[in-house]
Amino acid sequence: MWTVGAPAAGTVARMCGRYVEVSSPALLAERFHVTEVRTEQLETNYNVAPRAQVPVVAERHGERVLDLVRWGLVPFWAKDTKIGDRMINARADKLLSSNAFKRPFERKRCIVPADGFYEWQKIEGKRTKQPWFIRRRDGEPLAFAGLWETWHDPNEDDDAPPLRSCVIITTDPNELLAPIHDRMPVVLPESQWDTWLDVDNHDVAALRKLLVPFPAGELEAWAVSTLVNKADNNGPELLDPEPVPADAS
């Protein structure tokens, strides 16, 4: 693990736009206490990008279900799917004021499993941002707080299957992430999974209190190659450590 120093001057916000998903459906089902798995196989993905089909854990009829949905939430009222490209992240402090996120926050919460995620740090005097990889110290999957939604194409028949999509909620950074940028995904500890997934829980005030930074001491981060900048690059080499930039240490 590399040590991250003080924030570079002029650091700008960049939300969670890429992450890693390499755990098998069986492992995710065991880790998240899933009773129904609706996807038998997942391709290992070291560079998950928006529009990808990603696994999520949600509660349906009192059971936890693992299913695949599109990353980039498409609201039920959308005319087409293009809006989903702008809705890969949702700020925790804006959920109730957004006509895209308010309804799923109240009714359709999910967990987006991830084996780690990338964030980009602006380095003073350099045009290219430095990517970092962040994961749990114990190697367990992260449980991103997410929302899901269904959308029906208005140009198709009413009985056509709907599109299911999701968004990852972000919050203020913890002490580890703050030097890299000013947002981080909400990571839920296991003690909060039942509360978050409970479809009968409509106490939005209490739910908002869960959307806080994950303890910095339970995460680790290291600089990685700019290969991750291109979504077509995908392999374990993306996680290889790079020397810490002098202006970031």
Residues designated catalytic: 16, 119
**Residue recorded with tokens 């240490």:** 249
In contact, 180 and 4? CB cutoff 8 Å: yes
In contact, 88 and 15? CB cutoff 8 Å: yes
Structure tokens at 217: 């001491």
Q: How far apart are CA 48 and CA 69, in angstroms?
A: 13
Helix (H, G, I), strand (E, B), or coil: what is residue 239?
A: helix
Angle of CA points 167, 168, 171, to nearest 5°: 135
In Å, how far are 82, 88, 209 from 206, measured between CA atoms? 32, 24, 5
Question: Which 8-state DSSP code applies to residue 31?
Answer: H
